[in-house]
Amino acid sequence: MQGPDALALETLLVERDEHTVTLTLNRPEKLNSLSRQLLSELYEVLRALERDPIQRPRALVLTGAGEKAFAAGADIEEMTTLSVSEAYAFSALGMSVMDTMEHCSFPIVAAVRGFALGGGCELALAADFVIAAENAVFGQPEVKLGLLPGFGGTQRLARRVGVAKARQLIYSGETVKAAEAKALGLVAEVVPKADLLTRARAVASRIAANAPLAVAAAKRTINEGLDLNLRAGSELESRAFAGLFASEDAKQGLEAFLAKRGAASFTGR
C-alpha cells in the first residue's frame, strides 16, 4: 500500500509529529492558489493517509505557506483556459477534495493566516473547524469574476453561517475579517499571527491524545446527523455510543478513570 511519503509532491509539504500531521499548501509565490496539481496532490495525500493504518494521523493541521495567504482562491490563470466540460471536471476535483476532508476518519484543523478567498474559503469550510490568525480574511468573491463558488461554497457556507448571511456574502462578494468570521461561526478561534501554528498544533495534539475510534465516531455522527431530524440523529448517536463499548480503548478509558491512574493510553483498537 502506497503511503503519503511515497508520493512525489511539488505543491504540498508533509510534516509528522507523533500522532499528528501538518499539511502545508506550498505555492506561496501564487498565494497558495488551488491549481489542478495542488488539488490532485491534496486528494492523493488525504486518501493515502486514510488508507494506511500505520501512517493515518489522529488529527491533521492544514495551513498555507508564507504570511499572505492560506489560499487566495482557485488558480485564475488556469481557469481562463477552461471549457465548460473542463470547468465541470475542475469543480468535480475540488468537490472530491472537500468531500474527502469531511469524511476521513481524522479531524482536520484549518490554520488560516491571510487570505482565505474563493476556493481557499471553501477549503477552510471543509475542515472540521478553523483557527484563524488575526490577519485572516474570508470570502467568496467569485461573482466578481462572473462565476459562483465551485467547490461547495454555496452549500457549506450556508450551513456554517446561516442562509441569509451566506446569501449576502456570496451575492455581494464581500469579505470578512477574522473577528467577524468568528462572530458568524465560520471560525472557532482567533489568535495572534505569530501563535497560529503553535496553537493549531496544540489543539491537534490534544485531539490526538483521545481515543481515535471515539473521535472518528464523533466526527462521523456529527456529519451524518446534520442531514437528519433530531430523532433520527439521536438514534444514530445511540448506535455509535453503544458500538464503542466493543473497543479496547473504551475498556482502558473507563478502567483508568475508575482506578484514578490518569489518562489512558489509547491504541485505536
Catalytic hit among 122, 134, 237, 248:
122
C-alpha to C-alpha distance for 20 and 37, rounded to whole angstroms: 24
C-alpha to C-alpha distance for 222 and 236, rounded to whole angstroms: 9
Residue 50 falls in the annotated catalytic set: no
CA dihedral 198, 107, 138, 44 (to 10 degrees): 100
The C-alpha cell 481557499 sits at: 120
Q: Do 142 and 148 contact (CB within 8 A), yes or no?
A: yes
Per-residue cell: 16: 509528522
Per DSSP, the residues of 174-242 read -EEEHHHHHHHTS-SEEE-GGGHHHHHHHHHHHHHTS-HHHHHHHHHHHHHHTTS-HHHHHHHHHHHHH
Q: How many residues does the chain have?
A: 269
Catalytic hit among 44, 102, 134, 142:
142
Residue 41 falls in the annotated catalytic set: no
Q: How far is CA 48 from CA 34, 38, 157, 259, in A?
A: 20, 15, 28, 38
| Cα 181 to chain centroid, rounded | 16
Angle among Cα 110, 111, 113 to the nearest 5 degrees reads 130
Active site residues: 122, 142
